Structure 1
Amino acid sequence: MKKPSLIALATVITTGVFAQQEPIQFTAKGIVTLSDADMSASALADGNLYRSKTSRDVLTVIKFPLDRSGQNMATAPISNSSALYDKAAVVTPNGRFAFVLEGHGPLGDSVSTLKDGVKGLPAAARMFIVDLAPAKPTAKVVSVGNLPMAITINPQGNTLAVASGDAGKEMRLVEIDNTGTPKRVVTAPSPVPNARITDMVWSPNGNFIAYIMEDTQEVGLMKYSLDASKKPNLVPHGKPIKVGGLPATGRFSPDSKFFIVSDIKKGANAQGAGKGELFVVQFSTEDTPAEHKVVSQLAAGESGEAMTVSPDGSMVIVANAGQSYQPFGNAGAGKSSLSVYALDKEGKLTLANEYPFDGIMPQSIEFDKSGNAIAVAVSEYLDYGDRTGAIEFWKVTKGDKPSLEKMAGKISVPRGCHTVRVY
């Protein structure tokens, strides 16, 4: 039998006869993730941390195209808290800098249980400015007020808005220069006196910032502007409106027309949170604002705080943690799901498909730049020993009834992964 020559084999390989599609298809320059090593997800139910004394909070940078050797991944020891879900970080549009709220400080190595849930976590006031360009990311630290809860960045990538726990300074505008360094900080009080802001989202058109207040079950709007001296201002625009029992996360549609809010009803706990709801809010953005209004609401999954909107505005995808965070012996442990909704031009949501998957406490989800794939942050799995978290990927099929297909590959990251940012 005649043996094939090396030239013939090379020809077969280069012409693609043996070529196969990569297990992860994702259009992006990179992904930034945060992992909270202090917390096990089940601590929300039983207080047990199941910590490794050698593990530490970390930021992971993953650059595309992917490399099986891991040469395209780098980490930095950045303290962070999963109690903020995916509200803790933003990345500049050019992918140069990440800004990370610490949220809560690290626990001592001797601490093995939480006595009072997330309320027992140490207070913090720090923001890390992480330069993603070096092979090993570097960080600077600044203060942004006690117990910061959420951060958002304007479309131009030169101004941050931070929700602070400081009374009378609940909102901070932080202007940054091209090195990521703050050059001016302007504070503003909460639109509702003494009410804590728990989420903030800059509108895609850059003119407004939406806010959520869990304690008062309200969502509202602030108008952003620059005065004659180029000093930034935030002014309440219209009155906030009630939405649900525990509004948690909000996302604008790409045209800034709608603001979708996930109402989780209850925080994660030993009894479970029960089903949630989704609200679609249409803000009044006229110079003299009329009342904001809810144009659509729909029953949703359990503990569905993680949410994303497609780049074309046609769909909303929610990652439902369910009771995946329960102790391993619980029937719901390790079981999560994705819900896919169609969003029409009038703001009506329609459930298109649901997909169960194995993974604990998915807390963050984002589309790639093409809108043809999503990345989902998974805190950990029903694993013992040296546990890890991961970024899982799903292919998106658009249409009147959009659907998902799970990709074969995933990217393992340190356990406690709760944030994914695509740039």
Structure 2
Amino acid sequence: MDFKGRALVLVSDADMLASAYVNGELGPREGTDALSVIPLGAPPRELKAFSVPVSNSVAGPPVAVATTPDGRFAIVVETFGQRPDNNERHHFGDLKHGNQIAVVDVSDLQRPRVVQRVTGLERPDSVSVNAAGNMIAVALNPQGAGGKTPLALYEFRDGRLGPVQTPQVPGWALGERLIHAEFHPSSNLLALVNETRGELSFVTVGGSPGARTLEALGNKVQVERAPYMARFTPDGRHVLVNALYWGPDIQGTWNEAPRGSVVSVRLHAGKGADGSTRHALVSRAVTGVSPEGLAISPDGKLVATANLERSFLPYDDPRITWYSSVSLFRLDQDTGQLQRVADYAYDGILPEALAFDASGNYLAVVTFDHFDDSDAGGSVDFWRIARDSLDAHRVELVMTPYRVKVQRGPHSMVLVR
């Protein structure tokens, strides 16, 4: 295995078992919340993680960590705070809304260190860094500060966050959930994922440092039910959004969800009658159940989703699936068309995030926990893209024997190239 890149950066939530989502039981404490760095380049069996304590939570989309374009800093948001510091029996309801943002210097890959902790707004859902590396966008849950303002912006300079800014979001109705705000790969354009309405919209960030403004760009695009996160293609011409199909008319809201989907939206697909910019949904493909994680290869030709299936249910729940899965797709960079390859099941619990390597030939997938209870902790598992020299159309995803053990509860991960 030759997994290309400088490092993988991920965060783990040590406060709960995956089944706490269903029965509320956090289970026994196992370690502490952490940010981990896996330096790449060594032989695969010699890869290891180097960690620093950083509070974070799995209860949200798998975009709780982002890195600056130069790879020097990681930004971590805390959706929920840590469990009470005692050995009593605790429940999910004991977790308080978080508000911390941590800046971690990861320039020394073997010695990550927290260089700033900021008390931000209550219950952040996601974090993104712009292409210039000088601005941070944080989406806020409506059950926290998002009930008053859905989006927070921070200037970022010399490894330090500036004061919070909350510019008005055009066309946004308070109480709706902005679950993810993602920066464009080359401009200060934000893709906003409205989980409540199943919509994708775009705003440009203007103004001056410390006095930012937002301006709507084009129309809102109806995507699919319970969208979770957005990723721009490397060339910035399309946005992919996963949909989990959770909802109140499905028993248990998500414990019995059907298969999900991923859709492709083309930016600047045309002009309206008034000359305004029009974006358009151009393709859709079916995933496994609850496809929380979404990744695009560096060449923009492959897409993968990490599917929870129903692996997180308590062991005595008859609805449990004793597997999770990864779905693989081809993506036409010119048209945005998605073509489903296949689902690939594997023996792991609650995989929420994944990342292609810099070559696009390998895939790293975080595994929150393992069905074998003697296999303590979480892991980063490595897969490879396999092709057939006699069949140019064929592509397969093959799990390798290589993995790196990390603190239990990994859920968000990025590649530093």
TM-score range, shorter chain: 0.7 to 0.9
Identity of aligned pairs, percent?
28
2:186 is equivalent to residue 199 of structure 1: no
- Closer, same or farther: CA 230–124 of 1 in aligned 2, 3 Å: closer
- Checking the alignment, whether the CA contact within 8 Å between 1:334 and 1:381 is kept in structure 2 is no
How many Å separate the matches in 2 of 1:215 and 1:111?
36
Which segment drifts farther, 238-247 or 149-158? 238-247
Contact 1:320 1:362 in 2 (8 A): yes
User: Structure 1 residue 133 and structure 2 residue 107: aligned?
Assistant: yes
Q: Which residue of 2 aligns with 1:337?
A: 325
Match of 1:277 among 261, 279, 287: 261
Is it true that 1:34 corresponds to 2:18 in the alignment? no
Deviation at 1:247, TM superposition (A): 0.8
Displacement of 1:245 in angstroms is 1.8
For the Cα contact (< 8 Å) 2:246–2:254, is it kept in 1?
Answer: no
Match status 1:213 vs 2:194:
yes
AA matched with 2:196: D
The structure-2 alpha-carbon separation of the partners of 1:130 and 1:247, relative to structure 1 and needing over 3 Å to count, comes to same
> Which stretch of structure 1 is more off in the superposition, 327-336 or 85-94?
327-336
- 1:286–1:336: structure 2 CA closer, same or farther, 3 Å change rule? same
Higher strand share goes to which structure? 2
Correspondent of 2:409 among 394, 397, 416:
416
Given that 1:342 and 1:400 are in contact with CA atoms closer than 8 Å, whether structure 2 keeps it comes out as no
Aligned to 2:56: 80
Alignment partners' CA distance in 1, 2:322 and 2:77: 27
Residue aligning to 1:245: 225
Could you say which residue in structure 1 is the equivalent of 2:129? 153
Please point out which of 262, 269, 288 is paired with 1:301.
288
Cα distance between partner residues in 2 of 1:115 and 1:421: 27
Query: CA shift at 1:34, angstroms?
Result: 0.9
Shift in Å, 1:385: 4.9
Report what 1:236 is aligned to.
216
The superposition leaves residues 80-110 of structure 1 with CA deviations (integer Å, 9 ceiling, x where unpaired) of: 0001242101011222111000111011134
Task: Determine whether 1:407 maps to 2:400.
Answer: yes
Q: Kindly indicate whether the alpha-carbon contact (under 8 Å) linking 1:96 and 1:133 is maintained by their aligned counterparts in 2.
A: yes
* Per-residue CA distance 1:245-266 (angstroms, 9 max, x = gap): 2111211111111111111011
CA distance in 1, matches of 2:168, 2:88: 36
Give how far 1:244 is off. 1.8
Q: Summarize the Cα distance change of 1:386–1:318 in structure 2 as closer, same or farther, 3 Å threshold.
A: closer
Cα pair distance change 1:335/1:83, threshold 3 Å: same
Could you say what secondary structure the match of 2:59 adopts?
A: helix
Structure 2 SS opposite 1:238: coil
Aligned counterpart, 1:12: none
Any idea what SS the aligned residue of 1:292 has? strand
* Cα distance between partner residues in 2 of 1:231 and 1:106: 33
Taking the aligned partners of 2:162 and 2:95, their CA distance within structure 1 comes to 31
Match of 1:190 among 169, 185, 210: 169
Deviations 1:152-182 (A, max 9, x none): 111222211111334443222212112x102
* Aligned-partner Cα distance in 1 for 2:298–2:361: 9
Native 8 Å contact 1:190 1:196 kept in 2 = no
- The verdict on how the C-alpha distance between 1:87 and 1:252 changes in structure 2, with shifts beyond 3 A counting, is same
> Where does residue 380 of structure 1 map in the other structure?
369
Residues in 1 aligned to 2:164 and 2:212: alpha-carbon distance in whole angstroms:
9
TM-score, normalising length: structure 1 = 0.86
| Structure 1, 403-412 or 278-287: larger mean CA deviation | 278-287
Kindly provide the amino acid, as one letter, of the partner of residue 28 in structure 1: G
Give the partner amino acid of 2:396.
S
Q: Which moved more, 1:190-199 or 1:374-383?
A: 190-199
* 1:323-402 superposed matches below 5 A: 323-330=310-317, 332-344=320-332, 345-385=334-374, 387-397=376-386, 400-402=393-395
Structure of larger gyration radius? 1
Which sections of structure 1, spanning at least 5 residues, go unmatched? 1-23
How far, CA to CA, are the matches of 1:115 and 1:393 in structure 2?
A: 31
* Pair 235,401 (structure 1): closer, same or farther in 2 beyond 3 Å: farther
1:21-100 aligned within 5 A: 24-52=1-29, 55-66=31-42, 73-100=49-76
User: Which segments of 5 or more consecutive residues in structure 2 lack a partner in the other structure?
Assistant: none
Change (3 A) 1:74 1:282: same
Q: Distance in 2 between matches of 1:386 and 1:299?
A: 32
- Write the distance in 2 (CA, Å) between the matches of 1:256 and 1:144: 30
Q: Secondary structure at the match of 2:124?
A: coil
User: In structure 2, how many angstroms separate the alpha carbons of the residues matched to 1:221 and 1:352?
Assistant: 30
Per-residue CA deviations over 1:3-29 (Å, capped at 9, x if unaligned) read xxxxxxxxxxxxxxxxxxxxx421111
Displacement of 1:317: 0.7
**Is the CA contact (8 Å cut-off) linking 1:327 and 1:333 kept in structure 2?**
no
Q: Name the CA shift for 1:70/1:370 in 2 (closer, same or farther; >3 Å).
A: closer
Verify the 8 A CA contact 2:61 2:125 in the aligned structure 1.
no
Distance verdict in 2 for CA 1:129–1:286, change over 3 Å: farther
Question: 1:371-423: CA deviations, max 9, x gaps?
Answer: 11111011010122572100001112466443212221100001111112110
